[in-house]
Chain A
Amino acid sequence: MMAALGRALRAFGHFWWDFVIGDTPELALATAVIVAVAFLLAGTTIAGAIVLPLLAAVFLLASSLRGRKRVPGD
C-alpha cells in the first residue's frame, strides 16, 4: 500500500517536474519573473499591458536562441 502510494507520488512529482521544468528551465524562470513583475505592476494600466507581453517575448526569443541547432563556426 505504502509502496504503491510512494510510486504514485513519485509519478505525480515527475509529471509536474517534466511539465514545469523539463528541458526548458529558462521558461519556468521566465514565468516566475513575469508573475513577480505582474505583482510589482499591480494597479497600473499602460505599464503592465506593455511590460508583461514584452517580457514574455524577450524570454521566448532567448529560449529559442538557446534551443537552436549549433552548426560548425556558429
Chain B
Amino acid sequence: MAVIAGERDAVREAARANFFYRPEVRQAIYQVVTVVALVALFYFLITNTAENLRRQNIASGFDFIDRTAGFDISQSLIAYDNGMTYGRAFLVGLLNTVVVAAFGILLATIVGFIVGIARLSSNWLVARLATVYVETIRNVPVLLQLFFWYFAVLKSLPGPRQSHALIGGAYLNVRGLYLPAPVPGPQFDVVALAFLVGLVLSIAVYFFARQRQRATGHRLPVFWLSLALIVLMPLGVFIVMGQPLSFDYPELKGFNFVGGMVLQPEFIALLLGLSIYTASFIAEIVRSGIQGVSKGQKEAALALGLSNGQMLRLVVIPQAMRIIIPPLTSQYLNLTKNSSLGVAIAYPDLVSVWSGTVLNQTGQAVEVILITMCVYLTLSLLTSGFMNWFNKHMALVER
C-alpha cells in the first residue's frame, strides 16, 4: 500500500513540475490565444478595409456627419430643414423609425391578441374569419402588402381640391389625414399637471384597492375611479381655468392644406401594413399560448363560477403569457426591422434617409451601413432586454 501511495505521490509531483499539464494553466492559455486571435482578426479587417478605401480614393472617416445635408425630409418629429447637418437628418430618420415601430408594436399586439382569441371562439363564423385572416396575411410577402396599402388605398382617395371633409374640421385626401392641431394657451400647463397628478393617483388607487381586496375581500371600482381621476378631474380644471386651448384648422391654400397637423399616407400605410402583417403571426403565438395551458385550469375556473371572459382574463392568459412572451419578442424585433421597408413607399425612416440618401450623397457606404447596423442592434437589444425582464416578472413562482 505504501509503495502505491508513494508512486502516486511521485506521479503527482512530476505532473506539478510540468507547468503546461495543469488544467487551469491550459485554460488560461487557450483563452488568451483566442482573445489575441480575435483582436488580430478585427485589427486586420479594419486596417485592410481602410487601406483598400484609401487606395481607391474613396473618402472615409466620420467627419461627413457634420456636413450640410442639402435635402429635405417629408416627415420629421423634430425641427429640420435642408441647412442642417447629416447628423440631424440621422436623428430625424431614427425618430421616424422608433415612432412607427412603437405604434406598430402596440397596434399589432392589440389586433394579434383579439384575432388569436377569436380563432378559439366557439362562434363558427368568428373563428373561420380569424383563420382566413391569419392564413392569407401570413403567406403574402410583407413588401407586397405595403405596396397594396400604399398604392391601392392612395389611388382611391381624392386630390386636395376634392377632399373628403370630416367632422371636427378634419380633411381626408391623397396627401394625408389633416387634423386640427391643438394650440395650448398660457394656462394649459396647469391642466397638464392635473392630468399627471390624476395618472399617479389612479396608479396609487390600483395598488391600494389590491391591498384592500387581499385584506378584507371588498373590491373598489378601480376602473371608474381611474376614469374619473384621469379624465374628469383634468377636464374640470380645464373648464375652471377658462378653456386655454384653441385649434389651428387646416385650410386649402394653393396646392395643399396649410395649418393643422397631418398624418401622412406613407406613415399610415406603413403602420397599417406592418401591424396587420405582424398581428397575424402574433395571433398564432397567442393561440398556441392559450392552448398550451392545461385544460384542467379552464374547467376548474368554469366550475368555480367564473364567466368565459373572467376565465380568460384571470386564469388562462396569465399562465399563457409564459409561452407567449419569447416568440412575441421575436415578432416585435421583426416589426422593428421590417420598418426599414418604408423606403419602398417613401416613408423617411432611418434606412431611407441615412442608408439611402446620405449614403448616396457622401458615397461612404462602409461607415453609413456600420452605423445603421449598430442602431438596429441597439433597438433590438433594448426591446429584447425589456421583454426578458417582463418575462421573468411573469414567470410562475413554483412552490
Q: Say whether A associates with B.
A: no
B residues adjacent to A (C-beta < 8 A): none
A residues adjacent to B (C-beta < 8 A): none
